[in-house]
Amino acid sequence: MTTTAAYDEEGERDVKVLITENLRIDLETEKWECRSCDAPLIGARENYKRGLLVHNRDPREIHKPLLDPTKYELTYAPNPEWCRILEYYCPKCGSMVETEYLPPGHPPIRDIELDIDALKAQWKDRPELKEPPPDKDTRRRGAHGGQPAARMYTGDSK
Amino acid sequence: MNAPVTPEQQAMLDRFVRQNKLFYSPDPAIMENHRIEARSEIEERLLSGPVDAHQVNEIRGLLTAALDESNTMIEQMGAAPGAKWGDMTTGIFTASGDLSMIAPYGVGGFAAAVFYPIKFVNKYWTDEPTVGVREGDGFIHNDARYGGIHNTDQSMMMPIFWKEKLVCWISATIHEGENGATEPGGMPAAAESKFDEGLKMSPFKVVEKFELKRDLVTFLQNSVRDPKLQLEDMKVRLHSCLRLRERVIKVLEEYGEEALITTLRKSIEDVVEEVKRRIRELPDGTMRTMSFADSTLRESALLKLNMAITVKGEKITVDMRGSSPELLNRSINACQGSFKTMLYSGWMQNVWPDLPFTMAVFTPFDFVFDEKSIINGSFDTPQAMSLIPLFKTMTIASIPMAKFNYGLPHRYTAMVAPQYDQPATLIYGGITQHGEFTGNFCADINGMGQGGRSHRDGEHSVSPPFAAHCDIGEIELMEEDLPLVRLGAFTLTKDRVGFGKQRSGMGYEQIHTFRGSAMWGYMTGCSGSLFPSSQPLFGGYASPTYPLCKIKNTNVFEQLEKNPEKVPFDIIKLMNEQPIEGATYSTHPMAMTFELAAPGEVYMMCQGAGGGYGDVLQRDPALVMKDLEEKLISDDTARDIYKVAYDPVSRLVDEAGTAKLRAAERKARMKRGVPYDKFVKTWNTPEPPVKLPYMGCWGDDVSQVYGVMLGQRVKMDGKALQSQFMLNPKDVQIAALQAEVAALKKVTARTVSKRKR
Ligand SMILES: [Zn+2]
C-alpha cells in the first residue's frame, strides 16, 4: 500500500522509510522507530542497536542438544565457548529486532550505517510505503531473465 | 640516466620479454579484473550507431535454444555424477572473452569463471607460435588459479571463426570430481600444498581440427583415478561444443557476423546499465555482516569472513578486509577470482535472480581485499577445498543486501535469509563392486535447506546455494554403480530448522554404509559442528550445528538380517539408543580426511538448514501447528521457542492463551535485556578468548587481524597479513598424549617411592 505523505511547514515531507522487517526511519524526526509498537528508538544517524536492549543467550537454549550430552560432545547444539546469541529487543514492546551470533566477547558489529541526507534526497519524490511491496516467487521461464529480460533488450520495458 | 628508448627499441624489448617469459603464471591483470572489456573496434562501430533491438532479441532466442540444447547433451551423456544432477553449463562469450549468455538451466558460476582462462588464451596463446588459436581448436582448463571455482571443474573452450576472424568463444564445463588429488574425489581436505591437488591444468590446447589429441588425453587419463570418466567427459564436452558451434554458424549464415557481435556485446552492456540503475535506487550507506567457518578441515578453528558493502550513487564496493588470513598448509583458501565468481552466483540466486546471467552484473562493483587473506589467497596456497569459504561467500551477501533492498518501492525478489552454506555430503573413494577404482562425491551437496523468506518459509533440501535447479540424484542409480547403500536418505527430522517468523527449510538425514567392496572409504569436508553455519535475518535464529556420527566395529547388514526391527533408520534414535550391541558410537566435527571403513560400518550426517527470518513470536500459530504435523518441530519447540498454547492431542490453538504466553515472553525479554551501551561495557573483550583458535579481525576494526602460527596466536597488521602455518594435527595429538603419559609416570613414580618408604 502506498500513500503520499503530507508536507510539513518547512516543506519537508514526513516520510517513514522501511529499513528492515522490524525497523524504519522517520525522515522528519530523524529517528529509528520500532515497526511493532511505533516507538522512537534513537537518532537515525546513530547505531540503531544503541536504542535497544541486549541479552547474551546460551545457544543451547535455542538449539537444544538432540544427542545425549552425557554420551557425546557434539549434540547438534552450538558450543557455548565458541558461540553466543545476542538477542536485541525493543525496549518498549519486547519485539526481537535483530539477532547476532558471535564468539564470546566479540564486539557487536554496526550492521546498518545509512547516509541520512542522501536518504532524504532519494525519498523526496517517492511515495511512502507503509508496508513493503507484496513478494512474489521469482520464476524463470525458458531463459535466464525470461520475458522481462527480453523486454529490457527490445526497450519495450521503458 | 639512460637515453630514452625509441618506439622500435621498446617494441624489441617487449618482444624479447614476451619470447623469453619463464612461466605463464596466472596474470593478475586478468585475474583481478572482473569487469567487461572496453569495446573492440568492430563493437564500437556496430554499437555507436542504431541497433535493431528486435533482431538482437531474435538472435538471443536462437542462442538460448542452442545453449539449452548443448547443456542437455551434457546432462544426457555426461559420465560424471555432477553432470547427472545439473553441475554443468555451456556458455557463449564475446571475442574478447566476456561472458554473454549461458544455458538456461546451467550452473552460472561455471561460465562466470571461464572468461578468465579465455582471456588468458587470447592474451598469451594467440600469438605464441607454438600454440596459436585457430579454427577447430579446443582448450581445456581446470586450475582455479587461472579462473574457476575449484579444480574438480573441467572446461572445454572453443573459438568460433567466421571469414577467418574470431567472432566469439563458446564453452562447456562439468564438475568432474575425481582429478588425481591426494584424496579421491577431487576435493582433498588433506592437501597441504598445491601439489597435493592433482591435475592442475592451465589453459592448453587439447583439440585440433575438431578432434581430441589422444596423446594429451592419455596423459590426463594417466593422472587420475578414473580414466574412463576422464575420456568420456572430454568427448562429451567437445561434442556439446561442436553442436553449439553448429548452431552459432547457422546464426552467422543467416544474420551475418555483425548481428552476432552486436547481440553478444549489447546483451552485456544493457546489463551494466540496468545494474547501475538498480544501484542508484538503493539507499547510500554501508551494511556489514560476517560469517564464521569453524574448521580448517584438519582442526577446529574459527575463521571469519568479514563483509562491508557500501553503496554510493551507482557504485557498490564490496570490502572483505578483516577476513581470516590464508593458511599455507590447509586446502581451504580461495583466490579472489573464485571468490568473485561465487559471490556473483549467490547474488544471482538471492538478490537479482531476474537479471540475465552474465558476469557483467559486477562491472559497476569495486572490491577491496587484504593481501593473503583466505578469499584472496596467494598463488602458492592450496585451494582444493575452497568450498569452505566459497559456499559462505554465496550466502553472505543475502543479509546486507536484504537491508539495502527491504524498503524499495519495487522488489526484484523476496528478501531471503542465507541458505545453508556448507558442502554437507560424503566424498567416497575405493574399488567398486565392478572392480573399478573410483572417487567422487554424493549429490547431497545439492540438497541444502533455504533460508526463511519475507513472504513464506524456506524450501526444504532445495538446491545448492549456486544454482536453484540442481537435483539430488537417484539413490538406486548410485547403488548400481557404487558399493554404497543408503539406509536412510532424504528424511526430514525434528528441530533442525532455523526458527523464525518464517522458518528456514530443512536439510535431510543421510545414513550411509557399504558392501561388496574390498576397499572403500570416505571423507567429509564441511564446517559448522561448533558454530552454526547459516546466519539468520531480521531477528530469526540460525541453523543448528551438525556432527558427523559413526557406528563402527560392527556390520549393520548382519544386524539387519538378525534383528531388522532393532535398527531404526534415524540418526538420533541410533545414536541415543545404541541398539547395536558391541558397536562403537561416536560423534565428530563434519571435517574428516579420507579414512577406510569396514563393510557394514555406518557413517551419518545431515544436510543443513538455512537461517530463520524474523521474530519467532510473530510466527502464525497455525504455521507452528503445521510444523508439528509435518514433524519438523517437537512440542517443546512449539511451546518454548514459539510460545504457542494448544491442545497437544487435537493441536487446536488456544488463541487467548498464546497471546498471553507471547506477551509474557515479550515482558521477560524487556526484563532480561540490558541497554546496549551498558551491555557492551561488560560483553566486549579487547581480544578473542585465549583458548579460541581465532582467525580474522575482532569487531568492526579491520586494521588488526588475528591468526595462528604453529599453535600460537599472532596479531597482524591488516595491511600486511602473514600466511598462517598449522601444526600437524597428529603431532598435536601425540604431544598431548606424551604429556599425559609423563604426568601419569610422575604419579606412578611418586606412588612407588611412597611404597618404598
Ligand atoms: Zn517496539
Domain ranges of chain A: 2-132
**A136: chain B residues, CB-CB within 8 Å:** 414, 455
HEC sequence for B430-466: EECCCCCEEEEECHHHHCECCCCECCCCCCCCCECCC
Read off the pLDDT of residues B64-92 as tens digits, 9 standing for 90 and up: 999 999 999 998 999 888 887 888 999 99
Q: Report the distance separating Cα B179 and Cα B201, nearest Å.
A: 10
Whether residues A76 and B535 touch (CB distance < 8 A) is answered with no
Going from the Cα of A91 to the center of ligand 1, the distance in angstroms, rounded, reads 7
Residue written as cell 554404509? B513
Q: Can you read off the three cell numbers belonging to residue B269?
A: 552492456
* Residue B407 CB partners (closer than 8 Å, separation 6+): A17, A18, A19, A24, A129, A132, B283
Going from the Cα of B670 to the center of ligand 1, the distance in angstroms, rounded, reads 10
Whether residues A154 and B547 touch (CB distance < 8 A) is answered with no
Across B242-251, B326-335, B483-492, least confident range: B483-492
**A148: chain B residues, CB-CB within 8 Å:** 354
Going from the Cα of A147 to the center of ligand 1, the distance in angstroms, rounded, reads 42
Higher-confidence residue of B654 and B110: namely: B654
Going from the Cα of A35 to the center of ligand 1, the distance in angstroms, rounded, reads 6
Q: Can you read off the three cell numbers belonging to residue B130?
A: 607454438
Across A10-19, B263-272, B626-635, B638-647, least confident range: A10-19
Highest mean pLDDT among A94-98, B17-21, B749-753: A94-98
Measured in angstroms, the CA of A116 and the nearest CA of chain B are apart by 8
Going from the Cα of B108 to the center of ligand 1, the distance in angstroms, rounded, reads 42
Closest residue of chain B to A154, computed from CA coordinates:
B53
Q: Identify the CA nearest to B181 among candidates B358, B23, B386, B379.
A: B386
Going from the Cα of A99 to the center of ligand 1, the distance in angstroms, rounded, reads 15
**A144: chain B residues, CB-CB within 8 Å:** 64, 101-102, 104, 108, 355-357
Q: Can you read off the three cell numbers belonging to residue B306?
A: 568479514
Read off the pLDDT of residues B641-677 as tens digits, 9 standing for 90 and up: 999 999 999 999 999 999 999 999 999 999 999 999 9
Q: Identify the CA nearest to B399 among candidates B459, B439, B351.
A: B351
Residue written as cell 550505517? A113
- Split at pLDDT 50, 70, 90, the class of A4 is very low
List phi, psi (to 5°) of B484.
-60, 140
Whether residues B501 and A21 touch (CB distance < 8 A) is answered with yes
**B537: chain A residues, CB-CB within 8 Å:** 21
Going from the Cα of B624 to the center of ligand 1, the distance in angstroms, rounded, reads 23
DSSP symbols for B561-615? HH-GGG--S-HHHHHHH--STT-EEEEE-SEEEEEEE-TT-EEEEEPPP---BS-
HEC sequence for B93-132: EECCCCEEEECCCCCHHHHHHHHHHHHHHHHHHCCCCCCC
Pick A111's closest partner by Cβ from B403, B614, B685: B403
End-to-end CA distance of chain A: 23
List phi, psi (to 5°) of A87.
-105, 130
Going from the Cα of B666 to the center of ligand 1, the distance in angstroms, rounded, reads 10
For A130, counting Cβ atoms within 10 Å of its Cβ (0-12 exposed, 13-18 middle, 19+ buried), the class is exposed
Whether residues B411 and A132 touch (CB distance < 8 A) is answered with yes
Read off the pLDDT of residues B185-210 as tens digits, 9 standing for 90 and up: 888 999 999 999 999 999 999 999 99
Q: Cα B737–B740–B744 angle (5° rounding)?
A: 140
pLDDT at B19 over 90: no
List phi, psi (to 5°) of B238.
-60, -50
Q: Identify the CA nearest to B538 among candidates B460, B616, B609.
A: B616
Return the residue in B496, B531, B584, B604 with the most chain A beta carbons within 10 A, the one to mutate for interface testing.
B531
Q: Identify the CA nearest to B67 among candidates B173, B186, B150.
A: B173
Whether residues A74 and B454 touch (CB distance < 8 A) is answered with no
pLDDT at position A1: 42
Q: Identify the CA nearest to A18 among candidates B542, B411, B500.
A: B411
**A34: chain B residues, CB-CB within 8 Å:** none
Beta carbons within 10 angstroms of residue B10's beta carbon: 11
Enter the DSSP assignment of B196.
Answer: G
Indicate the helix (H) or strand (E) that contains B212: strand B211-212
Whether residues A150 and B60 touch (CB distance < 8 A) is answered with yes
> Widest CA span of chain A, in angstroms?
69
Read off the pLDDT of residues A136-148 as tens digits, 9 standing for 90 and up: 765 554 445 555 6
Read off the pLDDT of residues B294-323 as tens digits, 9 standing for 90 and up: 999 999 999 999 999 999 999 999 999 999
Domain coordinates of chain B in residue numbers? Answer: 24-273, 282-413+690-726, 423-614, 728-757
- Split at pLDDT 50, 70, 90, the class of A10 is low
pTM for the model stands at 0.93
**A74: chain B residues, CB-CB within 8 Å:** 529-530, 545, 547, 587-589
- Split at pLDDT 50, 70, 90, the class of B184 is confident
Question: Phi-psi bin for B711: left (phi > 0), alpha (psi -120 to 50), beta?
Answer: left
Alpha-carbon separation of residue B481 from A5, B27, B160, B484, B632 (angstroms): 66, 41, 38, 9, 33
Q: Which residues of A42-64 are buried (b: 16+ CB within 10 A; e: fewer)?
A: bbbeebbbebbbbbbbebbebbb
Q: Identify the CA nearest to B491 among candidates B504, B512, B510, B471.
A: B510
List phi, psi (to 5°) of B383.
-130, 20
Interface size A-B, in CB pairs within 8 Å, comes to: 306
Which whole number is the average pLDDT over B542-559? Answer: 96
Alpha-carbon separation of residue B304 from A83, B290, B324, B477, B696 (angstroms): 13, 7, 5, 39, 5
Measured in angstroms, the CA of A102 and the nearest CA of chain B are apart by 9
Question: Phi-psi bin for B179: left (phi > 0), alpha (psi -120 to 50), beta?
Answer: alpha
Return the residue in A19, A32, A64, A66 with the most chain B beta carbons within 10 A, the one to mutate for interface testing.
A66
Beta carbons within 10 angstroms of residue A93's beta carbon: 18
